[in-house]
Amino acid sequence: MPNTLGYNRGHSLDTFPPARGSNWPCQPSVHCVNSREYRFATVQGHRVEWLLRQNCAMTPAQLGIFYLSLSAISLCIGLFFWVLGATLVLPFSALEIVVLGLCFVCFARRSLDREHISIDANQLTVKCELAGVLHQTVFQREWVNVELPVHAQQLIVLRGQGQVMMVGRFVRPEWRAALAAEIRRAARAS
């Protein structure tokens, strides 16, 4: 699995990736490049790729299990008060469960957002999934223009063959310029 970056990572550019003798966050089957040339990318053969996604504490499956346990507890409390004669507690408990479920669905939908950038042979492919909608753009490697962000809050702009794609929304603002320079070097490499 490719290297993952997010807003809430506690590393500065000087210490990323950690130099504790491990190949974190790479899996043993993937050759991870920890050189000065590629700080955020993973390399598999001649393919260079970046997987950028939000830093979420819970996966949608974990969130579903958490929601079911909260629902069970809330229903048990509502049923307990129903048995004691307080009949309005159970409908409000059900309303609470529905509202909480809607909030969790909105959160889970956004937790799967990601950007996947890959350079292979003669093309640069960008797949951007936001709120369940996948946008894919393929650029010819030699014609793509990588525009570095002027300000920290700007995204990285990829232009080529009349197409424009903005990436880097899941990377800390102070890392975007370094990521853009790395994508540019990888696209220019032969």
DSSP-derived 3-state class of residue 102:
helix
The percent of the chain in helix, strand and coil, each rounded to the nearest 5, is: 35, 25, 35
Q: List, for residues 133-145, the tens digit of each pLDDT value.
A: 999 999 998 899 9
Separation in Å, CA 188 to CA 2, 177, 184: 21, 17, 6
Q: Give every strand in the sheet of 156-160, ordered side by side.
A: 145-147, 156-160, 163-167
- Report the predicted TM-score, pTM, of the whole model to 2 decimal places: 0.66
Query: Average of pLDDT values for 176-190?
Result: 87
- What's the pLDDT tens digit per position in 82-115? 999 999 999 999 999 999 999 998 888 888 899 9
Rounded distance, CA 71 to CA 49, Å? 41
